[in-house]
Amino acid sequence: MKGRFISLEGGEGSGKSTCLSYIQSWLEERKIPFLTTREPGGTPLAEDIRQVVLNDREEPVNDLAELLLVFASRAQHINEKIQPALNSGICVVSDRFIDSSFVYQGVARGGDLSKIETLSEWVVGSCLPDKTILLDVPVEVGLKRVQDRQQSDRLDKESVEFHEKVRQGFLLRAAQDSARFAVIDSSQSIDAVLKDLDIALQAAFHLGEH
Ligand code: TMP
């Protein structure tokens, strides 16, 4: 049987790392074979592209170049890692996937969504997540959480307006595909977030169904 594909999405400071650790323990407890990965990145080549995309640089990064780079890393990631794992029955949990491209390069940067759709059909095809967990947090709360972080990348440093577009973009995508998305209010206490996450995972793995 094919493995299940779960993606985790959200803006800066939405608590993806905490949730990812919880998902790992959740899958381990249930003895579900899995791998965790991330985008941009996930393979040596794709991680090299991640550095190219996210490193600070003096030269302005062209929006189309940024879009094509994230899709180049995704092509490598899907073909070399995600699809083979799913085919052999391993569950894949990815910290970000295709929705980040629609939201960051599309909604927030103002890129042409129909071109991103075309790229998605070409690069991702049917390798879409079975369940996408969106951690939603007001921008000011998320940015406050990350302000003490040592490392921030080129996109973290974008304006509050940019991050607001990211938040709204994710919420819109979730509303358009409510069967795939589980939206979790991550401004709640950690306990409450993890409780919601547990419910979303049970639904994703059809547990509790008869
Ligand atoms: P993060 O995984 O630490 O949140 O950092 C990844 C950054 O890359 C984040 O700012 C969102 C950005 N990104 C895109 O702009 N487009 C994409 O398609 C993906 C996967 C990530």
pTM attached to this predicted model: 0.96
Q: What distance in angstroms lies between residue 146's CA and the mean position of ligand 1's atoms?
A: 15
Q: Which atom of ligand 1 is nearest to the CA of 39?
A: 20
Summarised one tens digit per residue, pLDDT across range 166-207 is 999 999 999 999 999 999 999 999 999 999 999 999 999 986
Q: Write out pLDDT tens, residues 91-147.
A: 999 999 999 999 999 999 999 999 999 999 999 999 999 999 999 999 999 999 888
3-state secondary structure of 140: helix
Share in percent of the chain as helix, strand, coil (round to 5): 55, 15, 35
The neighbour count for residue 30, using CB atoms within 10 Å, is 12
Ligand 1 nearest-atom number relative to CA 155: 10
Report pLDDT digits (tens) over 78-99: 999 999 999 999 999 999 999 9
Residue 31 near residue 156, CB atoms below 8 Å: no
H helix intervals, 101-189: 113-123, 139-146, 160-176
Separation between Cα atoms, residue 33 and residue 158, nearest integer Å: 37
Quick one: tokens of 54?
Answer: 């996210």
